Each structure stands twice: as structure tokens, then as C-alpha cells.
């Protein structure tokens, strides 16, 4: 004859079942999160690092890019591992090294190719600032600020490169600054003046008359009787910064 047992109230068992179910679900969520982080880390070639302040719990994460041997910092992941690597390469190039800027001053590059040091040049690079006194044929206002630069260069026929800019516009030699070779008269370690009487059709740049001793510069282009443009500049006596 079986031993009689007391009947349990179902309501007394239900709380224990809820606690057990909650524990099982919590453990499952924990292991699922760890597996997901590991998968993301392996896919991105880096390490997933939880952030302080609960950011990881809100869906954010930081990925250290270690693939391709180009890691040097952390990148916030907003678009998935593939987008992170794409953004990194857009910023630093395929080799992970910032590309040097392209040369935008051919005259300065020619000067540096000619002389290893300033002491080896026939004169010191020179610059003067001035004002546009007269202008014809160009959209520049009288009184605009002008900068005149003279660089030494080693060439079979010419010893200097001249650039004249007024109001941010290259007046001499050309927009690309790929000309401007002239023969300068020197006064010790300083240029005194230079003259290029040929227009663009003849030698690739306008005519220029540079007189640093008296602080005057004249640039013109075309037939002297019917010049396309002509500007004159009064220079300050104080030297300006060259490089």
C-alpha cells in the first residue's frame, strides 16, 4: 500500500520555475554575446574591445585594425568591419602610410634640385611685398597686395626664377609656375634686377622688368603697342618671408 503524500499547491511551485527559467535565459544570452564578439573580431582581423560607460551594452564597440600589418590605433565601428577597413585605406592608402602631398610649387622644387644648401647658391632667396600701382587688362584692383619672389637656380642660361603674385593671382610667369627663368644681375649675395622682354608666344611667359634696387616691377604680355595686360608694382623696402 503506497504511503500517502500531501498534495502541493501549484501556486507554491510556480516562483521556483520562473527563477530557473530566468537563470537559463541569462546564461544563454551571455554565451551568445561572447560568441558574437569573437566572430566579429575574427572577421575584422582585429580585437573587439568593450568601451567604458556601458557603450558596448548599447550596441557600440571599438575595433583595433590589425590586418595587413597597418594597425596604429582604434577605429569606431559604425558600418561593419568591411566599412572600417575601407575607411582606413581611404585615409592612409593601401600601404597604411600617408602619401606625401604633390608638389604645387615647381619653381621651389627647381631651386631645391639645384642646390643642396642655401650657402651653395649664388644668392639668397629673396622676396619683397608691394602694392599694385597701375593695372590694365586684368581683373585686379589698384592697391592690391603683391608678392615678388626671386629664387636662385642652376641653369645653362639663367640664374634665377621670378614669380609675381597680386591679389592671389599669378601675374608672372604662368598659372602652373613652370616658367619664370631669367638672368639676374647680382649685388653680392642679393639679386638686383632682371629683364625678360619676350611675351608668352616667344618663351612661355610674359615680359617682366624687375628693379629691386628702386623697388619697381613691370609685367606685360603681348605686343608692346597693344599689350593684352600690363601691371606695375611699387615694392616695400622691407624683405618678405620667402619659403
Other Cβ atoms within 10 Å of 209 Cβ, number: 15
Instruction: Give the model confidence (pLDDT) of 140-165 as tens digits.
Output: 999 999 999 999 999 878 999 999 99
What are the φ and ψ backbone dihedral angles of 217, each rounded to 5 degrees?
A: -140, 135
Burial class (CB in 10 A: 0-12, 13-18, 19+), 241: exposed
Q: Report which of 173, 171, 165 is spatially closest to residue 148, judged by C-alpha positions.
A: 165
Instruction: Please report the DSSP string for 141-157 in residue order.
Output: -TT-EEEEEEEE---SS
Instruction: Give one word for 30, left, alpha or beta, with left for phi > 0 and alpha for psi -120 to 50.
Output: alpha
- Give alpha helix (H) positions in the chain: 10-44, 81-92, 106-114, 200-203
Q: Report which of 195, 119, 117, 199 is spatially closest to residue 162, judged by C-alpha positions.
A: 195
pLDDT computed for residue 66 by the predictor: 38
SS3 196: strand
Q: Which residues pair with 130 in a beta bridge?
A: 146, 235
3-state helix, strand, coil split of the chain in percent (to 5) is 30, 35, 35
Domains of the chain: 10-92 (no CATH), 106-239 (2.40.128)
Residue 126's H or E segment, with its range, is: strand 126-136
- Interior/surface letters 157-195, b for 16+ CB within 10 angstroms, e for the rest: ebbbbbbbbbeeeebbbeeebebbbbebeeeeeebbbbe
CA distance linking residue 158 with residue 231, whole number of Å: 24
pLDDT computed for residue 80 by the predictor: 46
Query: Please, are residues 219 and 207 in contact by the beta-carbon 8 Å criterion?
Result: yes
pLDDT computed for residue 164 by the predictor: 97
pLDDT computed for residue 116 by the predictor: 82
Tens digit of each residue's pLDDT, the chain (243 residues): 443 444 555 555 455 555 566 665 666 655 555 554 555 444 444 444 444 444 333 333 333 333 344 444 444 444 444 554 555 455 555 555 555 555 579 999 999 999 988 888 999 999 999 999 999 999 999 999 999 999 999 987 899 999 999 999 999 999 999 999 999 999 988 999 999 999 999 889 999 999 999 999 999 998 877 889 999 999 998 888 876
Cell triple for residue 206? 610674359
pLDDT computed for residue 217 by the predictor: 97
Query: Please, are residues 150 and 126 in contact by the beta-carbon 8 Å criterion?
Result: yes
The dihedral sign for the CA sequence 57, 58, 59, 62: negative
Amino acid at each position: 500500500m503506497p504511503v500517502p503524500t500531501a498534495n502541493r499547491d501549484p501556486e507554491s511551485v510556480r516562483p521556483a520555475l520562473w527563477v530557473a527559467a530566468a537563470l537559463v535565459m541569462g546564461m544563454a544570452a551571455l554565451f551568445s554575446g561572447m560568441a558574437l564578439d569573437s566572430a566579429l573580431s575574427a572577421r575584422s582581423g582585429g580585437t573587439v574591445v568593450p568601451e567604458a560607460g556601458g557603450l558596448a551594452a548599447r550596441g557600440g564597440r571599438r575595433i583595433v585594425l590589425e590586418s595587413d600589418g597597418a594597425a596604429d590605433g582604434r577605429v569606431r565601428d559604425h558600418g561593419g568591419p568591411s566599412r572600417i577597413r575601407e575607411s582606413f585605406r581611404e585615409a592612409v592608402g593601401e600601404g597604411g602610410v600617408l602619401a606625401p602631398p604633390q608638389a604645387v610649387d615647381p619653381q621651389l622644387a627647381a631651386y631645391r634640385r639645384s642646390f643642396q644648401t642655401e650657402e651653395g647658391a649664388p644668392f639668397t632667396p629673396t622676396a619683397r611685398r608691394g602694392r599694385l600701382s597701375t593695372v590694365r587688362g586684368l581683373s585686379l584692383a589698384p592697391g592690391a597686395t603683391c608678392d615678388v619672389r626671386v629664387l636662385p637656380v642652376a641653369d645653362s642660361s639663367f640664374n634665377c626664377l621670378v614669380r609675381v603674385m597680386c591679389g592671389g593671382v599669378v601675374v608672372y610667369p604662368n598659372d602652373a609656375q613652370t616658367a619664370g627663368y631669367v638672368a639676374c644681375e647680382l649685388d653680392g649675395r642679393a639679386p638686383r634686377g632682371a629683364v625678360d622682354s619676350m611675351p608668352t608666344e616667344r618663351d612661355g611667359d610674359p615680359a617682366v622688368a624687375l628693379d629691386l634696387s628702386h623697388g619697381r616691377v613691370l609685367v606685360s604680355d603681348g605686343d608692346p603697342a597693344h599689350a593684352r595686360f600690363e601691371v606695375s608694382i611699387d615694392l616695400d623696402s622691407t624683405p618678405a618671408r620667402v619659403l
